[in-house]
Amino acid sequence: MKSLTKFMDSFGAIILAVIWIAPLLFAFWAATHSTSDAVNLNLFSPWTLDNFRVAWNGAPWLKYFMNTFTLVTVILIGQFILTTLAGFAFAQLQFPGKDYVFILVLMQLFILPEVLIVENYAMVSRLGLFDTILGVGMPYMASAFGIFLMRQAFKGVPIELHEAARIEGCGLLGILWRVYVPLAKPTYLAYALVSVSTHWNNFLWPLIVTNSPETRPLTVGLSIFGAPENGVDISVISAATLMSVAPLLIAFLIFQRQFVQAFLRAGIK
């Protein structure tokens, strides 16, 4: 009886797992076969890398990769600096008005940047940042989620360390840099993984703010490449899709454990 339920469990779990990765498997199948063989699910048809060649030549992918890479780096650096400073102020300093400002910051959690696209677009244009990578990244830098996360991390630092550093003659920023930042390393790592995967995948906002291949990230490039008016077939689209998800997917498969831990840490705290 017990082994039967165990078998049923494994069975159900694996069926669901196979269903869950089926779209990826089919894309892999389509990308490595000629279009007609791919759609007929002709199992004995020859393998080919032609689709990847066609897809690679169809758009400036290298530029798109670099843009996405620059974008997530710019956002991450901005977020680290801003959320560290603000998180520290909220966690360790006493000053009038602090609680009200904190509530304001938390309000941003439900004022989704995604919903404010119209005014943010106007703002980015006004600042002269339209069609720049900085323009894509800036609205996400002062992340309320990040500020909250860093505040929690800094609150957990023992006050004795703070006092000791002060007696040693360390200034406030020195204490922040030498005591708090090193101790919050795991939180930074978790936040970095969540932030990078979010912004690597972001689409709507970059679609609005970018206008040229010089600034366009991978997601926007992929959507333009796959548009039906470009007349590319499903095998080539699959190849392009696999190419563009490969870096993050490979990174995920290698660092799977850390990745999942990071999501856990960032979500639960």
Partner 1 sequence: MSAHVNLERRRQAIYGWLLLSPAAVLLTVFAFYPSIATLWSSLFSRNTRRNPTEFIGTENYADLFADPTFWLVVKNNLFYAGVTIPMSIGIALAMALWANSKISARGFVRTAYFTPTVLPMIAAANLWLFFYTPGLGVLDQIGSVFGLPSVNWLGQPETALWAIIIVTIWKEAGFFMIFYLAALQTIPEDLKEAADIEGTSRWTYTRRIVLPLLMPTTLFIAVNAMINSVKLIDHLFILTKGGPSDASKLILYYIWEMAFAFFDAPHAAAITILVIAVLGIVAAVQFLYLDKRTHYQ
Interactions with partner 1, residue window 56-85 (CB under 8 A): 81-83, 85
| 174 within 8 A of 243, measured Cβ to Cβ | no
Instruction: Indicate whether 213 belongs to the interface with partner 1 (CB under 8 A).
Output: no
Residues 12 to 31 in contact with partner 1, rule: CB under 8 A: 12-14, 16-18, 20-21, 23-24, 26-27, 30
Residues 131 to 150 in contact with partner 1, rule: CB under 8 A: 138-139, 141-142, 144, 147
Nearest one of 36, 26, 31, 27 to 48, comparing CA atoms: 31
Instruction: Indicate whether 260 belongs to the interface with partner 1 (CB under 8 A).
Output: yes
Name the token pair of 183: 């101790």
Give the range of 43-51, 117-125, 155-163, 184-192 binding partner 1 by CB under 8 A: 117-125
In angstroms, give the least distance from the CB of 87 to partner 1. Answer: 9
Q: What is the DSSP string of 126-142?
A: HTT-TTSHHHHHGGGTS
Helical pair 2-31 and 234-254, crossing angle rounded to 10 deg: 130
Nearer to partner 1, 118 or 167 (CB): 118
Q: What is the DSSP string of 193-222?
A: HHHHHHHHH--HHHHHH--STTT--HHHHH
Instruction: Indicate whether 190 belongs to the interface with partner 1 (CB under 8 A).
Output: no
Residues 32 to 51 in contact with partner 1, rule: CB under 8 A: 39-41
